[in-house]
Amino acid sequence: MEEFILHNLENVTLKEYPNYYLLEPKARLDLSFSENFFIETINFITSNPKNIILNMKEVPYISSSGIKAILKLKQYLDVRGYKISLYHLLPEVQKIIHISELSNLLPIFDTLEQSIEYLKK
């Protein structure tokens, strides 16, 4: 496993595994952060795309711009034949995702193991 800090984002850790990247944002996914999160993630994975798992345990809040960034990331991966999954959502984030009816679009799990199993399908 290699661990990286995304170029301009000190509050996101990216760990590379053979079949996926594990991204761990450590900030609110809101207007002030989400666009940079998306751009830096895409810039990093462009040369070596693979599945992405988002560990959301340190994301206390997500706004519509954060949701948009994740959906754009999903679309980028879908076109290239890769998947994205999220796990360990805090109650407030889980509530926002549920109210936005995004649980049908985004695979959300409780554990990393469940996310990894989803990627194998």
Q: Give, for all 121 residues of the chain, the pLDDT tens digit.
A: 555 555 556 788 888 898 999 999 999 999 999 999 999 899 888 988 999 999 999 999 999 999 999 999 999 999 999 999 999 999 999 999 999 888 889 999 999 999 999 999 8
Please state whether the predicted TM-score (pTM) of the whole model is above 0.75.
yes
Q: Do the Cβ atoms of 118 and 18 come closer than 8 Å?
A: no
Q: Considering its fold, how many domains does the chain have in total? A: 1
How many C-beta neighbours within 10 Å does residue 36 have?
16
Domain that holds residue 13: 2-120
Q: Which structure tokens are listed for 48?
A: 């070596």
CATH number of the domain within which 25 lies: 3.30.750.24
Q: What three-state secondary structure class fits 8?
A: coil
DSSP state of 82: -
Cα–Cα distances in Å, from 20 out to 17, 39, 43, 71, 100?
5, 18, 16, 18, 27
